[in-house]
Amino acid sequence: MAYPAQTDYPTIIATAQRLIERDGVEQLALAGLASELGIKAPSLYRYVANKTALLKGVVTITIQQLFETYSQALNTSADDPQSQMLAICHGHRQFAHAQPKNYALAFTAASAEQRADSTSLVEMVLPVQAIMAQISGQQHSLSALRGMLGLIHGFVLLELNQQLQRGGDLSAAFDFAVRSYLAGVAQLQTD
């Protein structure tokens, strides 16, 4: 007689994300996760082979959630590419603040085995690159997009680690930095 599953992969990943936010990735253990789910640790092996596979699942879902945030931001932005990219950047920052530990894990996964599949990442980023191409021109779009990610990721990490200590409105500073970058990138089309 088959027993009904007491959990599933999405529940395992969501619970792992919650535990990472609560306790940090270093404290995440399969035994603790199983206990949190109300199952025995060996039951997890039906879904994840080990902690590395679990972390890869968390990274993959976290990045998918980030891109869902981008889509939501685009739905509420104006139709011009500058406004769309600005909305994506602000959505990125809000996402990082909402899930700082999962965000950090997703962007600093130590091993290749923990990183999301590169093919699916490219598929997710191409629509964002297309928006950037409207701002920078097609030939500069990948470099401009990488620069934008470096700007927003660096700002967010400094902010989350409380490294921006000199006061002022950090939201306004972020907006200024992004707008300035986009204005500079737009100049590439005229140069």
> What is the percent of the chain where pLDDT is above 70?
96
Which pLDDT does position 191 carry in this prediction? 62
Q: Show the tokens assigned to 14.
A: 């969501």
| Residue 55 falls inside a structural domain | no
Tell me, yes or no, whether 43 and 89 share the same domain.
Answer: no
Which pLDDT does position 66 carry in this prediction? 95
| 33-48 pLDDT tens trace | 999 999 998 889 999 9
Kindly state the average pLDDT of the residues 141-147. 96
| 66-88 pLDDT tens trace | 999 999 999 998 899 999 999 99
Q: Inform me whether the pLDDT recorded for 1 exceeds 50.
A: no
Report how far residue 17's alpha carbon sits from residue 1's, in angstroms, rounded to the nearest whole number: 33
What single string gives the DSSP state of each residue in 18-62? HHHHHH-GGG--HHHHHHHHTS-HHHHTTT-SSHHHHHHHHHHHH
* Count of domains forming the chain: 2
Which pLDDT does position 80 carry in this prediction? 93
Tell me, yes or no, whether 73 and 44 share the same domain.
Answer: no
* CATH at 41: 1.10.10.60
Helix (H) or strand (E) holding 90: helix 81-98
Q: Is 168 exposed, middle or buried (0-12, 13-18, 19+ CB in 10 A)?
A: exposed
Report how far residue 47's alpha carbon sits from residue 49's, in angstroms, rounded to the nearest whole number: 7
Tell me, yes or no, whether 154 and 112 share the same domain.
Answer: yes
| Residue 53 falls inside a structural domain | no
Which pLDDT does position 122 carry in this prediction? 87
Query: Which structural domain, as residue segments, surrounds residue 139?
Result: 62-189
Tell me, yes or no, whether 96 and 183 share the same domain.
Answer: yes
The residue ranking higher by pLDDT, 16 or 117, is: 16
Tell me, yes or no, whether 23 and 67 share the same domain.
Answer: no
| 162-190 pLDDT tens trace | 999 888 999 999 999 999 999 999 998 76
Q: Inform me whether the pLDDT recorded for 116 exceeds 90.
A: no
Tell me, yes or no, whether 44 and 99 share the same domain.
Answer: no
Report how far residue 68's alpha carbon sits from residue 141's, in angstroms, rounded to the nearest whole number: 21
Q: CB atoms < 10 A from the CB of 56, how many?
A: 21
- The pair phi, psi for residue 70, each rounded to 5°, is -60, -45
| Residue 56 falls inside a structural domain | no
Q: What is the mean pLDDT of the chain?
A: 91
